[in-house]
C-alpha cells in the first residue's frame, strides 16, 4: 500500500512537470536559454559565420559577468539559401523554447522568415541580410546587425562623383536583394544628378551558363557607359568576370565596381586560382569597415589557430560573432528586469485546420517585445566596433573600406563613411572632428585600373560599337556664312562648323562623326524640329547656329555658348538737322519747367533770408522783385553781385550753386553732342515702343524670335511677317508698314550684325532684350557635351575663337561713319535727387528762420500786449507785428529794443536817486536826433 502511494505521488509530480513542460513556462534565471541560427553552411559567409557563432557561444558561457548561472544554447540549421527551407526551419524553431533567431544570411530568406517572426514575436537578428527594404515598419521583429546596402550604394555613388562619371551600368542578381540594392543605388545617384543608364538582371538560379552572361555583356559593350557596378553573389560574380575577361572588357577604359560580396570572398579564401585573380585585375570593391582593436586582433589570431589558415575571417563573421553577444546582453537584461521566458498559444492558429502540420504546437513568445526593446537599446563594443542602433534601427556610424584588386591580392585605397565621405584616414579618427563632406575633403589613393593604368578612365565611349555620330546640320538659305553645305560633297562650311571642328580637334580622344543635312534647301528649317530629332534618336547631336533657349534646355544638353546671341530690334532711321531751336533739345520739357521753377524758388528763399539784414535786398517793392529775378538768374552764370550776409542764406546759395554746376555741365555736354555729332532719329525706340504700335514686325524664318514675340511678349501673330534673307529685310524695312513692309525687324544679334555690315540705312534701336547664346546640342547627360564645352573655353582663352570669327565676318562698311542714333534727352529722373536735396535745404533754412522770428516776437510780448489792447484784436495785432518784424531791418530793431531797456532803467534810477528830470529829457532828445 505504501509503495502504491509513493508511485501515485511521483505520478502526480510527473504530471505537474509534464503540464508545465507543455505550457513551456520557465521561471526567471533558467538553467539554459535557447536561441536558433539559420544560414547556409557551405556558402562563403556561412562557413565563417558557423565557426564565429560557435566561438561566441563559448565565450559567452565562459564569461561569468553575463547570464550568470544560465547557459546559452544555440541550435543551428542549414537553409541552403532556400526561402521555403528557411521558413520550415523557422516554424520548427517555434515548436521549441527558442526565444531569438540569428540569421538568415540571405535577404530572400529573411523576407519570408520575418513574417513568421512577426507573428510569433521572436526577434530575428540577421548578420548578413543587407536588403534595404527589410525595414522596421514592415518587419518590426527584424533587427539588422550588419550594414544596410543603402549605405553601400551611397558609397558607390560618392565614388562615381569623385571620379566625375555621370552614368553607370548595373548588373545584378534578379532577386529581392539584387533588385532592391540597385534601386537604392539609383536613388543615391539621382541625389547627385547621376543615373543608371542600363540595368541587366541575371536569373538567381545557380545553373546560369556562360552563354546567358555573354549575351548580357555583349549588350553592355555596345553601350556608352563604361562604369559597371556588379551586385551579385560570389558564384555568379566570378562567371561574369571570366566572360568579361574573354570579351576584352577588363582592359583600358572600363571601370568595374563590385559590392561587398567580392571582398568577403577575398578575405575568407586562402587563395584563389590564378585565372580567377587574372580576371579581377583593377576591380574596385567595398568591404564593411571594422575598426582595428586589441580584441579584434586577438580574435583574428585565435581564428588562424582554429582554422589552420585554411579559412579567412571576413567582416560578416565578425558581425555574426557580435550578434551572439548582442543577444546574450539583451537576454541578460531581460532576465534582470524580471522577464519570464513563457509562451502562449495563438488562437488564430487553432482555428486553422493544420492536418499534419501541427500548427497548434507553435506559440507566441510572451516576452518578445521586451527582449526586442533590450536588443534595440543595446550599447556595447564588439569586434566590429561600437554596437548601437539609431532611430531607424540601423547600426550607427556605417563605414566601408574601398579596396583595389591588384596582383595576387588587393590593397586598400581609402575609406567611406556616412560621417565624412571618402578619405584616406580611418573613419574612427574623423569622428571627433566636425563633419565635412566638401569636395576638397574627399580623397582616395591612386587606383590601378583595368589595363594596369593609373589614369582614371573617362567612364564612357561612343555607343553603337564605334559607329560615327550622326550630327544634324541645318541647310540655311540665308546668312550662309554661319553654316552652309559644300556643293558636290557631304561636308559643310561656315563659322559654326569651324568652331565645332576646332573644338573636336582639342579633345584628348578621337571622335567619329558625320554631318547629316537637315532642311529642304528652299527655306530655313525649323530649329525646334532639329533639336527634337535628337530626343527621338534620329540625330546624336546638332551643330549650327542653334540658340540656347529655355524650352530647348529642358530636353537637351548644350555646350558652352560659343557666340553671344540675343534678340534686338532693327529699324530704319533718318538724319536730323540741328536747326534754330537745337539749344532746347538737351532737356526735356519737364526738365526745363522744373529747373526754371527752382531758379525762382531759390531767389525768393534767399530774399526772405537776407531781407532783414542785407541792404541789397531792401527797398521799394519794384526794386526788390527785380533783385530777386536778377539774383536767381545770374546764379546760372555764377555772376550774381549781391552778397549774402546770413549763414542760412549762404548755405542755401552754396547748395544751389552746386546744383547749377551739375545742370550746366550736363547741358553743355548734351548740346555739344547734338551740334557736333550727326544725329539719327527713328520712331521706334526699342521693343517696348514697338509693342505699343500696331505695325507689322519682321522675323527670320526658322528663328525662335516668332515664338518669343508671340508667346512671351504677347504680340499677335497677324503682326509677324516671315522674312527669309537679308535682302528681304532691307526691302521690307525700306517699304515701311504703310507700303506693305514692316516697321522693324526682330532677330538675333549675330544675324543683325552680319546684315548691318552691308546695310547702312538701318540701325539697332534700343537694347538687347534677351540674353542667350549659340551652342551645340547633345542628348541629356551626354559626357561629350562637357568635353566640347571645355574645348570651346580653351578656344576662347587662346584667341582661336576670335580668329575664326574674323575669318568669316568682314568689318562693317558703315563703321567709318560717326553716326549714332539720337541720344535720349536729359530727363528729370536723372536730376531729381539734386532737386530734392536743394528743396529740403530751402525748407530747413526757412523753418529755422521763422523760428528766429517767432522767438524775437515772443521777446517783445509786453509791448505787443499794449498794442493788442489798443487795437482791440489780439490776432490781427500779432500778425501785423510779425509782418512788421519780418520787414523791419534787424539793426534798427535791436537798437530800439536796447534804447527801450535803457530808458526803463534810467527812469527807475531817477525815481530812486532824485536826479534832475531835465537831464533825462535832454538825453532822450539827443538819442532821437542820432536816430
Q: How far is residue 120 from each of residues 144, 331, 362, 732, 744, measured CA to CA in Å?
A: 18, 17, 8, 88, 83
pLDDT at res. 356? 54
β-pair type (399-406, 409-417): antiparallel
pLDDT at res. 156? 96
Distance in angstroms (rounded) separating the CA atoms of residues 618 and 595: 26
Note the pLDDT tens digit of each residue in 657-680. Answer: 788 888 778 777 777 766 665 455
Note the pLDDT tens digit of each residue in 171-229. Answer: 999 988 999 999 999 999 999 989 999 999 998 876 788 899 999 999 999 888 999 99
DSSP string, 832-885: HHHHHHHHHHHHHHHHHHHHHHHHHHHHTHHHHHHHHHHHS-HHHHHHHHHHHH
Helices (H), 712-831: 726-735, 749-756, 783-798, 800-808
pLDDT at res. 828? 73
Residue with cell 546671341: 565
Written as nine digits, the cell of 594 is 522744373
Strand order from edge to edge, sheet including 541-542: 513-518, 469-474, 541-542, 777-778, 557-558
Beta bridge partners of residue 747, listed in sequence order: 568
Q: Are 333 and 372 in contact (CB under 8 A)?
A: no
Which helix (H) or strand (E) covers residue 214, if one does?
Answer: helix 210-221
Which helix (H) or strand (E) covers residue 199, if one does?
Answer: strand 195-202
pLDDT at res. 819? 43
Which helix (H) or strand (E) covers residue 144, if one does?
Answer: strand 142-144
What backbone torsions phi and psi does residue 170 show, to the nearest 5 degrees? Answer: -110, 125
Q: How far is residue 198 from each of residues 36, 117, 221, 758, measured CA to CA in Å?
A: 41, 37, 11, 54
359-374: burial string, b at 16+ Cβ within 10 Å, e else: beebbbbbbbebbbeb
pLDDT below 70 — which residues of the chain? 1-28, 83, 206, 346-362, 463-466, 574-585, 614-617, 619, 637-642, 673-683, 810-825, 859-931
Residue with cell 575598426: 291
653-669: burial string, b at 16+ Cβ within 10 Å, e else: bebbeebbeebeebbee
What backbone torsions phi and psi does residue 160 show, to the nearest 5 degrees? Answer: -60, -45
| CA gyration radius, the chain | 48
Amino acid at each position: 500500500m505504501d509503495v502504491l502511494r509513493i508511485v501515485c505521488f511521483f505520478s502526480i509530480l510527473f504530471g505537474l512537470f509534464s503540464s508545465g513542460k507543455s505550457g513551456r513556462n520557465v521561471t526567471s534565471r533558467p538553467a539554459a536559454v535557447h536561441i536558433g541560427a539559420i544560414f547556409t553552411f557551405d556558402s562563403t559567409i556561412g562557413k565563417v559565420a558557423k565557426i564565429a557563432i560557435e566561438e561566441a557561444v563559448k565565450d559567452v558561457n565562459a564569461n561569468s559577468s553575463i547570464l550568470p548561472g544560465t547557459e546559452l544554447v544555440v541550435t543551428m540549421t542549414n537553409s541552403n539559401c532556400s526561402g521555403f527551407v528557411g521558413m520550415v526551419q523557422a516554424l520548427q524553431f517555434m515548436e521549441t523554447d527558442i526565444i531569438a533567431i540569428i540569421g538568415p544570411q540571405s535577404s530572400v530568406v529573411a523576407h519570408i522568415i520575418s513574417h513568421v517572426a512577426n507573428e510569433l514575436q521572436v526577434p530575428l537578428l540577421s548578420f548578413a541580410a543587407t536588403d534595404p527594404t527589410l525595414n522596421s515598419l514592415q518587419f518590426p521583429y527584424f533587427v539588422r546587425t550588419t550594414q544596410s546596402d543603402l549605405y553601400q550604394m551611397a558609397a558607390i555613388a560618392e565614388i562615381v562623383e569623385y571620379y566625375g562619371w555621370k552614368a553607370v551600368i548595373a548588373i545584378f542578381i534578379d532577386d529581392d536583394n539584387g533588385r532592391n540594392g540597385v534601386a537604392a543605388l539609383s536613388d543615391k545617384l539621382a541625389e547627385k544628378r547621376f543615373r543608371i543608364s542600363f540595368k541587366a538582371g541575371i536569373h538567381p538560379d545557380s545553373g546560369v551558363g556562360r552563354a546567358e552572361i555573354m549575351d548580357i555583356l555583349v549588350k553592355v559593350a555596345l553601350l556608352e557607359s563604361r562604369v559597371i557596378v556588379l551586385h551579385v553573389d560570389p558564384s555568379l560574380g566570378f562567371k561574369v568576370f571570366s566572360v568579361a575577361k574573354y570579351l576584352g572588357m577588363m582592359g583600358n577604359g572600363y571601370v568595374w565596381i563590385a559590392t561587398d560580396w567580392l571582398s568577403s570572398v577575398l578575405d575568407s579564401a586562402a587563395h584563389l586560382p590564378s585565372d580567377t585573380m587574372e580576371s579581377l585585375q583593377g576591380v574596385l570593391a567595398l568591404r564593411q569597415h571594422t575598426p582595428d582593436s586589441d580584441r579584434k586582433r586577438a580574435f583574428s589570431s585565435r581564428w588562424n589557430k582554429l582554422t589552420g589558415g585554411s579559412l579567412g575571417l571576413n567582416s560578416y563573421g565578425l558581425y555574426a560573432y557580435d550578434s551572439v553577444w548582442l543577444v546574450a546582453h539583451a537576454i541578460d537584461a531581460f532576465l534582470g528586469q524580471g522577464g519570464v521566458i513563457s509562451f502562449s498559444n495563438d488562437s488564430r492558429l487553432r482555428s486553422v485546420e493544420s492536418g499534419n502540420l501541427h500548427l497548434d504546437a507553435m506559440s507566441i513568445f510572451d516576452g518578445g517585445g521586451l527582449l526586442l526593446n533590450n536588443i534595440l537599446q543595446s550599447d556595447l563594443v564588439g569586434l566590429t566596433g561600437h554596437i548601437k542602433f539609431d532611430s531607424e534601427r540601423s547600426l550607427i556610424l556605417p563605414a566601408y573600406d574601398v579596396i583595389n584588386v591588384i596582383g595576387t591580392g588587393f590593397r586598400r585605397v581609402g575609406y567611406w563613411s556616412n560621417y565624412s565621405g571618402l578619405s584616406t584616414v580611418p573613419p574612427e579618427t574623423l569622428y571627433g572632428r566636425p563633419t565635412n563632406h566638401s569636395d576638397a575633403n574627399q580623397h582616395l589613393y591612386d587606383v590601378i585600373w583595368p589595363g594596369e593604368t593609373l589614369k582614371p578612365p573617362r567612364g564612357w565611349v561612343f555607343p553603337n560599337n564605334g559607329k560615327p555620330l550622326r550630327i544634324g546640320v541645318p541647310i540655311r538659305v540665308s546668312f550662309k556664312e554661319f553654316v552652309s553645305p559644300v556643293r558636290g560633297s557631304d561636308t559643310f562650311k561656315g563659322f559654326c562648323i569651324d568652331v565645332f571642328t576646332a573644338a573636336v580637334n582639342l579633345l584628348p580622344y578621337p571622335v567619329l562623326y558625320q554631318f547629316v543635312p537637315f532642311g529642304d534647301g528652299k527655306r530655313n528649317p525649323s530649329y525646334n524640329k532639329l533639336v527634337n530629332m535628337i530626343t527621338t534618336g534620329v540625330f546624336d547631336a546638332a551643330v549650327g547656329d542653334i540658340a540656347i533657349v529655355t524650352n530647348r534646355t529642358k530636353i537637351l544638353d548644350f555646350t558652352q555658348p560659343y557666340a553671344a546671341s540675343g534678340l534686338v530690334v532693327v529699324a530704319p532711321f533718318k538724319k536730323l538737322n540741328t536747326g534754330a531751336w537745337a539749344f532746347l533739345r538737351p532737356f526735356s520739357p519737364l526738365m526745363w519747367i522744373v529747373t526754371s521753377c527752382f531758379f525762382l524758388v531759390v531767389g525768393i528763399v534767399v530774399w526772405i533770408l537776407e531781407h532783414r539784414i542785407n541792404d541789397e535786398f531792401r527797398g521799394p517793392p519794384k526794386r526788390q522783385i527785380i533783385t530777386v529775378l536778377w539774383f536767381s538768374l545770374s546764379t546760372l552764370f555764377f555772376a550774381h553781385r549781391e552778397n549774402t550776409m546770413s549763414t542760412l542764406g549762404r548755405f542755401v546759395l552754396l547748395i544751389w550753386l552746386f546744383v547749377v554746376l551739375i545742370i550746366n555741365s550736363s547741358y553743355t555736354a548734351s548740346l555739344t553732342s547734338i551740334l557736333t555729332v550727326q544725329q539719327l532719329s527713328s520712331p521706334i525706340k526699342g521693343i517696348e515702343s514697338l509693342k505699343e504700335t500696331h505695325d507689322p514686325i519682321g522675323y527670320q524664318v526658322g528663328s525662335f524670335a516668332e515664338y518669343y514675340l508671340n508667346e512671351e511678349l504677347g504680340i499677335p501673330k497677324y503682326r509677324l511677317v516671315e522674312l527669309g534673307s537679308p535682302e528681304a529685310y532691307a526691302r521690307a524695312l525700306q517699304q515701311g508698314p504703310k507700303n506693305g513692309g514692316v516697321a522693324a525687324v526682330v532677330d538675333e544679334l549675330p544675324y543683325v550684325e552680319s546684315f548691318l555690315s552691308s546695310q547702312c540705312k538701318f540701325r539697332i534701336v534700343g537694347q538687347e532684350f534677351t540674353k542667350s547664346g549659340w551652342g551645340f546640342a547633345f542628348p541629356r547627360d551626354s559626357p561629350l557635351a562637357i568635353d566640347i564645352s571645355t574645348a570651346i573655353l580653351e578656344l576662347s582663352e587662346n584667341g582661336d575663337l576670335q580668329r575664326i570669327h574674323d575669318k568669316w565676318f568682314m568689318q562693317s562698311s558703315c563703321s567709318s561713319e560717326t553716326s549714332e542714333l539720337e541720344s535720349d534727352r536729359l530727363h528729370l529722373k536723372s536730376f531729381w535727387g539734386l532737386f530734392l536735396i536743394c528743396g529740403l535745404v530751402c525748407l530747413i533754412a526757412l523753418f529755422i528762420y521763422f523760428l528766429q522770428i517767432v522767438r524775437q516776437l515772443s521777446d517783445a510780448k509786453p509791448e505787443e500786449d499794449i498794442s493788442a489792447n489798443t487795437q482791440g484784436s489780439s490776432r490781427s495785432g500779432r500778425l501785423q507785428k510779425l509782418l512788421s518784424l519780418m520787414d523791419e531791418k534787424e539793426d534798427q530793431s535791436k537798437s530800439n529794443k536796447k534804447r527801450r531797456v535803457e530808458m526803463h532803467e534810467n527812469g527807475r534810477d531817477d525815481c530812486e536817486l532824485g536826479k534832475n528830470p531835465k537831464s533825462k529829457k535832454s538825453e532822450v532828445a539827443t538819442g532821437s536826433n542820432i536816430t
